[in-house]
Amino acid sequence: MAADSMEIDDGLYSRQRYVLGDTAMQKMAQSHVFLSGMGGLGVEIAKNIVLAGIKALTIHDTRKCEIWDLGTNFFIREEDVKNHRNRAEACLQHIAELNPYVQVTLSTEPLDETSSLLFLKQFQCVILTETRLSMRKMINNFCHSQQPPIKFISSDCYGICACLFCDFGDDFEVLDTTGEETKEIFISNITQSSNGEVTCFENRPHKLESGQFVTFREVHGMTALNGSVHKISVLSPYSFSIGDTSDMEPYQHGGIAVQIKMPKSFLFERLEKQLLEPKYLTPDFSKPEAPLNIHTAMLALDHFQEKHSRLPNIGCLQDAEEMRILSESVIETLHSKPQLDEVLVRWLSWTARGFLAPLAAAVGGIVSQEVLKAVTGKFSPLQQWLFVDVMDVVVPLETISREEFQPRGDRYDALRACIGDSFCQKIHSLNVFLVGCGAIGCEMLKNFALLGVGCGTQNGLITVTDPDLIEKSNLNRQFLFRPHHIQKPKSCTAAAATLSINPQLKIDPRLDKVCPATENIYNDEFYTRQDIIVTALDNVEARRYIDSRSVSNIRPLLDSGTMGTKGHTEVIVPRLTESYNSYRDPPDEEIPFCTLKSFPATIEHTIQWARDKFESSFTHKPSIYNKFWQTHVSPEDVLERIKSDESLEGCFHVVKLLSRKPRNWTHCVELARLKFEKYFNHKAKQLLHSFPLDTRLKDGSLFWQSPKRPPIPVVFDVKDPVHFAFIKSAAKLFAEVHNIHFTEKDLSQDDIMEITSRMILKDFAPSSKIVETDETVEKPDQITVSSEDERIALIQLGNVISAGQATKCDLQVKPLSFEKDDDSNEHINFITAASNLRAKMYNIEPADRLKTKRIAGKIIPAIATATAAVSGLVALELLKVIGGYPFEAYKNCFFNLAIPIIVFTEAAEVRRTQIRNDISFTIWDRWTIYGKEDFTLLDFINAVKEQYGIEPTMVVQGVKMLYVPVMPGHAKRLKLTMHKLVKPGAGKTYVDLTVSFAPEADEAEDLPGPPVRYYFRQQNN
């Protein structure tokens, strides 16, 4: 079967399709991958690439399950250890269950120097973990020499260090290096010169980079540019040069520059050469020497294993000394001679037998993305090494007895070898609140299970909450869920699945959304019980709320998120770092009302317009209709009140809807046809009537020039697939709203054609309505109703009542709630057809259903690789928080696995605000005042002055100003009791207030102070 003819299961892969695109998805679904080593890293890679949807995976392992594996491999169970099962056999069924489209097989044959490698020819990609260096070299040489080359990846996690190596051959072609959408730039001018300069509009930076290519369309005057391709050089954020334009006609107006993605070839060297002169990514620019130091240490570890056929013993000083000597020998062979990092080498030797599951999760996500690049040619591959260490986690443990790290014969021995037993006990006693149980939440629970979070005999509990139910599209990333879990609660299902990984865990799954409405559940007492808060959310608003609650209760918070191949992590530690709310991204730019209504320039504009039409026609108006008739139960009463000139809110629109209410399927089709004529024909004619094509502005320039596009009226043709799709979907939606039955035959083109062909439509009659052209004008909250409209409503309502069409059934409709993932509900079909018809009307390139669904549904592209990586990085920071590490230890991370780029940075250090020389505060500080029943506002102000040495000049509660001296009447409030001013809710013992202070000098504004928690009465300690 040809790759491009495969049908993709959108229900399962919808979020990932927006990351990889269909071409890459189809290539991936034809690929066979070999993976050796079913340890903690190998199983992470297997999970991610099977979820992604390769065609077939062969997992290889010769080792038997041991007790250690329970703390490193989330698919190995206690019975596997008891039965001494092969690790690949133990994992096979679990991995296969992740994706029914992927064939998973196993191999347990030894892979050594005597093995024939010819069997590898059936694979497009070979991945090695836990493989000796000599074998890695041999297999890499075999893969590199094939035609075409077999893509080769090797990766390992030993204790505190991890590495990744890629070799995709001498000439690896990538069609799309970034995965970003191609940019379209509206042009305002092009110079006629030897180095023509293209200028875009001031408010629309082009966001191109030098060396990229563009083509042109719709350029007036300099028409020779249309269809031509040019390499650009960026001159400014709003201009770029394209080469010689001096022989072309002068530029007049209009034009769009469209970015073109050009293929790029990557050259890879074999492992043998790269061992001596590695090319690598530097993830932490504060430690530029680290990659070569890790490379040196891990090569020394390879030589140690080759020599002794074992890893160094845990905490063994003799083995560590031999590792140091081997490292010095390695440095002599390297082209670059790094300075020996003895501390790193010693810790690698001490911990090499150990395993940090979070490090494997992070590296496994990155490795998996490289596998997908290898089999699809999508995104820029890693060239050629990545080295990671977690020295920040172990260096503070230097003084602990080596005995702490020795095995105890349980599932935590691999972890214990890295961080010691006391640290493990701290983890077990942890109370963690995990907010969100989607993709990141599932990965975090897996990490918690392997670490043993919350499984202490006395203390420890994981509380996880998520109000959502499992959908099919979740299964592509949320690996704890299976098809039979669909429509079951995420939190409860994930908790049960996590217990199968580690039965010792204590988990409390909840369904409550964390928001102001549930503060009676997630109250201060609840937060105070938590040792750490971990968010796994997909929206900024929820993050901001939980951050505010964490700061208020002085709890550490770990936040993370992904968008496609991009990911970020942020660690927030009381009194050390700033919080999530300390910074605010600029708000998303809204599309101007007049652009949406009359002057769309891009497909995003037409999609948003179509989404708005859906909401208006099928959600908002039906909701208003129901609400009106619930308030005014008698149409006759409404008629009498209108006659007596009484104004009833929404009456005109409700009566209009009642009078036009479809009574049968034919009426639904007719209504859809009328909407077509209004939206796509009469609207264009009205605009051209208001602004003929030759209309000019005051400065003499044409009104209809880029980015404004003159509309072309669309003439209805039921045989046109887009026209028919609009009528069919709109009619079905009207039928659903009005509870009208229809059959499959009713939906046929012939039946719909018969209905529409009988209709006699009114000719277009121009209106005198003013068309808004000012981009700063916002959409009006209400449409004004004229006296003529009210007169018409009176007649219409009277006619409906006379005709007996205002019965109780007529006064109830069914508002629709937009749902993007149900392909049978016509919601996306309607929006796609409406958007593309409007695009045709304005000569805008249409969008397919998939793109329309993403934009209209505001879908966040997602892939399991990035999710796994962020969860691992977060869990590493969790260890530092548990250990109470100093500020310098904490790292935030941003990555984009597509490019690839990984950047570790220090957390943002908390800022201290100075009020007076001796008075300052941070976001973590809170002043406290205890009051009593008759405590007045003046008492409160005096209490602040007495306790903290400074008098407040302003007191605010949320957005309510309690006391601002310059405001009329506020001076009188000083005598009012705090109880009367604040009005505490039931059960509330305190209120958080914001105070300000007078500036010392003649500064313009008062100085903000820390939050002041006012208790209504003295608290009992």
Q: Are the beta carbons of 957 and 916 closer than 8 angstroms?
A: no
3-state secondary structure 19-78: HHCHHHHHHHCCCEEEEECCCHHHHHHHHHHHHHCCCEEEEECCCECCHHHHHCCCCCCH
Is 15 in contact with 170 (CB distance < 8 Å)? no
**The one-letter amino acid at 415:** L
The two beta strands, 184-190 and 233-236, are unpaired
User: Residue 125: helix, strand or coil by DSSP?
Assistant: strand
930 within 8 A of 1018, measured Cβ to Cβ: yes
My answer on whether omega of the bond before 148 falls inside 30° of 0, hence cis, is: yes
d(CA 924, CA 218): 56
**Residue 61 and residue 415 in contact, taking contact as beta carbons nearer than 8 Å:** no
* Strand pairing category for 431-435 and 197-200: unpaired
Contact 167, 145 (CB under 8 A): no
Q: Catalytic residue at 809?
A: no
Q: Please tell me which residue in 594, 651, 668, 893 is annotated as part of the active site.
A: 594
Quote the distance between the C-alpha of residue 999 and its chain's center: 42
- Cross-strand partners of 905: 892
Q: Which two tokens stand for residue 316?
A: 């063994």
DSSP alpha helix (H) spans, 647-783: 651-659, 665-677, 683-690, 721-737, 749-758
CA-CA-CA-CA torsion sign (593, 598, 601, 605):
positive
d(CA 786, CA 808): 29
For tokens 């199983």, name the residue: 43
> Alpha-carbon distance 200 to 241, whole Å?
12
Sheet holding 927-930, edge to edge: 927-930, 1007-1015, 990-997, 952-957, 960-963
DSSP one-letter string for 648-681: -TTHHHHHHHHHT---SHHHHHHHHHHHHHIIII
> The tokens of 973 are what?
């409030």
Beta bridge partners of 385: 165, 280
What gap in Å lies between CA 11 and CA 248, rounded to an integer? 50
Q: What is the CA radius of gyration of the chain?
A: 33
CA atoms of 998 and 950, how far apart (whole Å): 9
Q: Are 298 and 348 in contact (CB under 8 A)?
A: yes
Q: How far apart are CA 605 and CA 613, in angstroms?
A: 12
Q: Which residues contact 311 (CB under 8 A, 6 or more apart)?
A: 158, 301, 304, 305, 352, 353
Distance CA 961, CA 994 (A): 9
End-to-end CA distance of the chain: 74
Q: Residue by residue, what is the 3-state secondary structure of 174-222?
A: ECECCCCCCCEEEEEEECCCCCCEEEECCCCCCCCCCCCEEEEEEEECC
Distance CA 578, CA 533 (A): 15
Q: Are strands 280-281 and 385-389 parallel, antiparallel or unpaired?
A: parallel
Whether 560 contacts 440, CB under 8 Å: yes
Q: How far apart, in whole angstroms, are the C-alpha atoms of residue 192 and residue 794?
A: 64
Helix %, strand %, coil % for the chain, to 5?
Answer: 40, 20, 40
What distance in Å separates the CA atoms of residue 255 and residue 221, rounded to the nearest whole number? 10
How far apart are the C-alpha atoms of 483 and 963, rounded to whole Å?
A: 58
Point out the residues that are catalytic: 594
